[in-house]
Amino acid sequence: MSAAAAPATASATTPGPVNAMSIDVEDWFQVQNYAGLIGRERWDSLPRRVEDRTREVLALFAASGIRATFFTLGWVAERHPALIRDIVAAGHELASHGYGHERVFEIGAARFREDVRVARDLLEQAGGVAVTGYRAPTFSVNPGATPWAHVVLAEAGYRYSSSIFPGPRAGGPVPLTPWRPHPDGVVELPMTALRLGPACLPVSGGGPFRATPHTLFAAALRRVNAAGRRGIFYFHPWEIDPDQPRMPGLSASRRLRHFLGLQRMAPRLARLLGEFAWGRVETVFAAELAAPTAPGRDAAGRDAPGGEALGREALGREALGAGAAGPNAPRPATPAPGPGALDPCAPAHDARGCNAPRAA
């Protein structure tokens, strides 16, 4: 199988570095917010809205001239193969979101191996292209709880994962740039985050995007780009569906988290697509995938210098907003985590990392 060729950028006229645009293709009732409220045995009895909403996403991308990556559930591919074919025909990257939207740290290595194998087989059968990218449901991969995940993915034929979210979900300090958590595993392309003062802020889309004023989110992404990093944005088809069913029994906090900003999501996405250049994940990070990062090495395969000093230097520029040299300025290598390595989302004076407890 061969992947469909596609341009890397959203538009030849959009200035700045190219960021990666991605969509986690799942239906409204498969969201973690509904876990414990809607059992899996009910999924096939509920109204499916994922195909219509995903086609709206395809139309939005076509209008903007954008190619993106669709991390798709095997469950969806099994029931909507025509949608999968149309995603590929439009020039987008087809990637895996697992089969049944189960959190990786809950199902263990053996079930994870079967989950990613089945999902990849279903997606490749429907799309007719090789599937080499993976994103864990709810970003449920982290080096501490799932140290086997990246090796399992490599053994299953994947090339990369985009499953780690710096911050509390990561379970400990992690780099903000591509790295390889295990020498025999796939490369990890972490979601985008930014350190501002005492906060480690997600700059990746989803709920935080809906909850953040647009100008502030765009400013944060520009700051990421000015520091020489490319962002990864994600959202779900159900996030542009304000008319989706409201299920009784959802707590007030979960209801707010799920429905906040849905009415404004589609126009905000259209605006964001015009403000930045966007491409497929595999294209934006082609250099890293061609020469994947190994522990103690940078993305070019060179021996990385001392992690602590380098991490502080790189973060000092970002934290002080000193990325004015622009996205094309030379950057020092970012090391993979190891003894003494810093979380680049930690402040320049703090080696504890973004997830460390803060003093009162």
CATH of the domain at 217: 3.20.20.370
45 in a structural domain: yes
Q: Which residues are CB-contacts of 297 (< 8 A; sequence separation ≥ 6)? A: 303, 304, 333, 335, 336
Q: Is residue 6 part of a domain?
A: no
Per the domain annotation, does 4 fall within a domain? no
What is the DSSP pairing of strand 193-196 with strand 199-202? antiparallel
pTM exceeds 0.85, yes or no = no
In sequence order, the 6+-apart residues with CB closer than 8 A to the CB of 105 are 140, 141, 142, 145, 146
| Structure confidence at residue 198 (pLDDT) | 65
- Burial degree of 39 (CB within 10 A; 0-12, 13-18, 19+): exposed
Cα separation of 273 and 146, whole Å?
Answer: 34
Rounded distance between C-alpha atoms, residue 241 and residue 350, angstroms:
42
Helix (H) or strand (E) holding 20: strand 18-25
CA 227/CA 234 separation, integer angstroms? 20
Q: Is residue 268 part of a domain?
A: yes
What pLDDT, on a 0 to 100 scale, did the predictor assign at position 154?
A: 97
Q: Is the residue at 106 inside a domain?
A: yes
pLDDT at site 1: 54
Structure tokens at 235: 């959202």
What is the predicted pLDDT for the residue at 172?
Answer: 74
**Tell me, what's the pLDDT at 153?**
98
Cα radius of gyration (the chain): 19
**Total count of domains within the chain:** 1
Q: What are residue 133's DSSP bridge partners?
A: 160
The helix/strand/coil state of 78 is: helix
State the pLDDT at residue 171. 72
Whether residue 338 is contained in a domain is answered as: no
Please report, for residues 66, 69, 74, 86, the alpha-carbon distance to residue 125 in angstroms, rounded to integers and kept in the order given: 25, 18, 11, 13
HEC string of 97-156 equals CCCCCCCHHHHHHHHHHHHHHHHHHHHHHHHCCCCCEECCHHHCCCCCCCCCHHHHHHHC
Query: Which of 166, 89, 84, 95 shows the shortest CA–CA distance to 127?
Result: 84
- Separation of alpha carbons 210 and 216, rounded Å: 11
Q: Kindly tell me the number of DSSP H helices and DSSP E strands found in the chain.
A: 12, 10
pLDDT attached to residue 84: 98
- Evaluate whether residue 353 is within a structural domain: no
Structural element, H or E, at residue 51: helix 50-64
The three-class DSSP label of residue 84 is: helix
Q: Is the residue at 348 inside a domain?
A: no
Give the closest residue to 136 by CA, choosing from 157, 107, 179. Answer: 107
C-alpha distances in Å from residue 12, one per residue of 61, 91, 112, 264, 319: 15, 16, 40, 27, 30
- List, for the chain, all residue ranges whose pLDDT scores fall below the cut of 50: 2-12, 292-360
Using the Cα atoms of residue 104, residue 109, residue 114 and residue 117 in order, give the sign of their dihedral: positive
Report the C-alpha gap between 7 and 18 in whole angstroms. 11
* Residue range of the domain that includes 25: 18-325
